[in-house]
Structure 1
Amino acid sequence: MSIRHGITHARQPRKLHDGTLYWPKTMPHIPAYPMLRRREETEVAIVGGGLTGAICAAMLARSGIPCVLIEGKQVASGSTAANTGLIQFCSDIMLSELMGRIGEKNAVMFYHACRKALVTLAQLSSDTGEDTGFYTRSSLYCASCEDDVAKLIREYTMLRKYDFPVSWGIPARVGGKISEVKAGALTTHGDAEINPLRLTHALLAYAVRLGARVYENTGVLEVGRMNGRFTLLCQEGEILARRVVKATGYLPGIVTPSSAGAPILKRSFALATVPGQVPDEWPDHYMMWETARPYFYFRTTPDGRILAGGSDDSLYDPTCDGKLLTNRTNGLLAQLGELFPGHEWQVEDAWCGTFGESSDDLPFLGEHPDQPGIHHALSTGGNGTIYSVIAASLLQDRILGRDNRLSSLLSPGRRTVDASYMPHIPNSPDHSASLFA
């Protein structure tokens, strides 16, 4: 049976970022990958060449599972290039708040999975043998106002109860005006920072060494399924696979059933200062974020820059004029100035990027009941890299026949989301699905 679908999408950015990006400057020689011009047969086809796809390829290849990754443009040129590279086991929704939504047992399970994913990512980074900018860090989670202190204390109590590495208060060696501007804080330990561009290319090189194949400038025109196998028709080649991973992020990809989750698209702003701008009052390369929503955050870089971000709004297209970008950049600098008054900041790069949230603050990962064999890896919120590792783990477990208790909790077909504008695909064992162009 073969069914074709004409598809439109009501909320779709034309591109994923605007402005000038910092990370491409850290890789003067970016690897190139060939275009697919033949037929490939494999176990898993990964559609999307950003950090999510690279994590999936590396974890599958390390497990001996054959895979082919394709990217419609250049590898790591979408959201990955605009990622500010903060990796934390804490989610945008506090553990204590998540308990009220999905129950204490499920919330703790999810948080432990995030912590485990961070450890897995650290090992993957080490296994590549390359400089990925992965460094273990601690994160200062600040109460934005007096009213949030009680909430932060409750979160600290829950994290301690379930053995997460956390301590209370602003460390004594942290100076500036943080203890005056922020009403309270907790510190999580064992978080990390990355260079997302370097990490993506390192993971892909690692996956290729283990047998994976990677192609860029290879868009998918159509996905068909027949006799339990998928055919991905590309411009000049095709892939035959038993499973497909949708790792296209916030750009178009394989059609999602109407009952599946869809991200709430927004945009955020970020900046990178010139080198040598880390204040003396900010030791140990802490990362900082806060309880306000949207929240302000910042981190340092190995060459002494400050990377700061926030100022989110509900517009999903990152295209913006110079005046708007300047205004939002100045707003971020003003928030830095509150913490470190008297410090003069020089901005070298500033950009705007699209990101997505979900209505229940959980990512959309795994198979949808209406699309057996298609694995969704749609990471939402500020913890997307961690969620990408979880997506790859769910896929591994599915292929290897292992149960994973997160499958139903994070399923793109769960009932707690509103995706009324998404198109519908009939539940047919054999069909072809159009792709977004």
Structure 2
Amino acid sequence: MDLVYGTPYWPSTYKSDVGYSSLETDISCDCLIIGGGMGGALTSKLLSQRGFDTVVIDKRKIAHGSSSANTGLLQYTNDKTLTSCINTFGEEKGVRFYQLCREAMQHLAEIAGSLKTDPWFIPRNSFCFASVEEDVALLEEEYRTLQKYGFEAELWEADQIKNHFPFEKPAALYTKGDAEVNPYRFVQALFESAIQHGARIYEQTEMIHCDYDDEGVWCYTPKGKIRAKKVVYAAGYETQEIKKDRGAYLKSTYAIITKPLPDLSSWYEQAMIWETARPYLYMRTTPDHRIIAGGLDEEIPDQDQRELRAKNQGDVLLEEVKSYFPLDALEIDYVWGAVFGNTHDGLPLIGTHPEYPHSYFVEGYGGNGTVYSMIAASLIADAISGVENEDMKLFSLTRTSKPSPA
């Protein structure tokens, strides 16, 4: 699958001193992780820390799949509001999902602070505005719901927005406890840490297929076999080529990053900005004074149209940014498109599947993929360690598209 088209920015920000080879012999391990992106990196760190002999393989170079296209907005709030989660899943499950996202944000902050390589993890607040007047009631209801269940949020009215930003909107939610990150540096730093705990990483090593028996898994690669007691599939959106999930679907999304700007003082607290419209526009800044903007989700274009489509959609995104921040020096420096996955019910897919023995899946589909990957890594590390966690059931791969309320 062609996951990324165009030129992502993040790989230009980090040159690794660590070289990864491809697998050219037969090996064995406790846990095999298939996928060298965010899900695989977080899971490898937790498993190796717990003393499991962990091997990671990726058919590309490490972090050169979706992680290179990730725009690095980390939020406990979701594409699916807490109000909507409660309406869909019931109060207990809906609130627990948001609690897990908030706990994952805290866990990500702890991990980021422990890494040798700086992942550009910076605490930020989030600003979600009403795209149209009709969406104000939705934000008001969500504000009351967040407050009721202990999630810190402020409801801003039009005058307050006008006093803090160079644009006008009828209302917004201002939430705290989020962060921005450089996902490429984060993945590289996580693997560097996992190596310190004994993990072995092989890039440009493709899984051809896996066989299962009573004792574990045989994974076949072009030049060697891997014998593992457990396997974690962290292949991101390419999981759909391994195991098609009826509750998941894939789209194309687009992003730009501007050239460095001399002045971003009009951007209040460098908050991460998004909106109630679907698909939504989102924007954030970077430590080197650039603006990242993304959105315009659509059906995946034909192969020969993707590069051109990314460029055209990039131009649209730049005009959107200018409408909010009319800065003289706004120019595109990097533009890219990428495959983006979501689920029909709004929750990621995490855990086991009856047709894949000794296996776990990390499918952090949705706008909060890194947060979901953190939840998945924690749950799977617990499961492999023999710790039962009821939260895994919330993300079952075999759930119906619309779970019954609790």
- TM-score over 0.5 (shorter chain): yes
1:104 aligns with 2:100: no
Pick closer, same or farther for the CA change 1:125–1:370 going to 2, 3 Å. same
Residue 406 of structure 1 and its aligned partner are, at CA, apart by 2.1
2:392 aligns with 407
Give the corresponding residue for 2:165.
175
SS at match of 1:43: strand
Does residue 1:285 correspond to 2:285, yes or no? no
1:224-266 alpha-carbon deviations (Å, 9 max, x no partner): 112221111111122111111111111257732x6x4452110
Q: CA deviation at 1:323?
A: 4.7
**RMSD value, Cα:** 2.0
Q: Find out whether 1:114 has 2:114 as its counterpart.
A: no
Match of 1:347 in 2: 332
Aligned-partner SS, 1:125: helix
* Structure 2 alignment gaps of length 5 or more: none
1:163, 1:322 → 2: CA distance? 44
What do the CA deviations read for 1:248-305 (whole angstroms, capped 9, x no partner)? 111257732x6x4452110011000001255321032210001100000010000000
Matched, 1:298 2:283: yes
Amino acid at match of 1:164: F
CA shift in 2, pair 1:336/1:277, >3 Å: farther
State the alpha-carbon separation in 1 of the partners of residues 282 and 128 from structure 2. 9
Q: How many residue pairs are counted as aligned between the two chains?
A: 400
1:362 aligns with 2:347: yes
CA distance in 1, matches of 2:277, 2:81: 12
TM-score, length-normalised on structure 1?
0.87
Secondary structure in structure 2 of the residue aligned to 1:362: coil
Question: Residue 320 of structure 1: SS of its match in structure 2?
Answer: helix
The equivalent residue for 2:23 is: 36
**Partners in 2 of 1:410 and 1:335 — Cα distance?**
35
SS class of match (2:372): helix
Report what 1:135 is aligned to: 122
Correspondence 1:252-401 to 2 at 5 A: 255-256=242-243, 260-261=245-246, 263-276=248-261, 279-315=264-300, 320=305, 323-341=308-326, 343-401=328-386
Residue equivalent to 2:201: 214
Determine the C-alpha separation between the residues in 2 that align with 1:316 and 1:364: 25
Aligned partner of 1:94 among 81, 86, 100: 81
The one-character-per-residue Cα deviations of 1:373-420 (angstroms, maximum 9, x if unpaired) are 2111011111000110111111122122323222222011112279xx
Give the distance between the partners of 2:246 and 2:358, measured in 1 at CA.
Answer: 17
Do the aligned residues in 2 keep the contact of 1:167 with 1:187 (CA within 8 Å)?
yes
**Alpha-carbon displacement from aligned partner over 1:164-192 (angstroms, at most 9, x marks no partner):** 12222156762201xx2x22101111101
1:79 aligns with 2:66: yes
Counterpart CA distance in 1 for 2:26 and 2:313 is 47
Cα deviation, residue 324, structure 1: 3.1
Deviation at 1:325, TM superposition (A): 3.0
Q: Is the 8 A contact 1:53 1:69 kept in 2?
A: yes
Unaligned ranges ≥5, structure 1: 1-13, 419-437
- Distance (whole Å) between structure 1 residues aligned to residue 91 and residue 301 of structure 2: 33
2:54 aligns to what?
67
TM-score (norm 2): 0.93
Q: State percent identity of aligned pairs.
A: 37
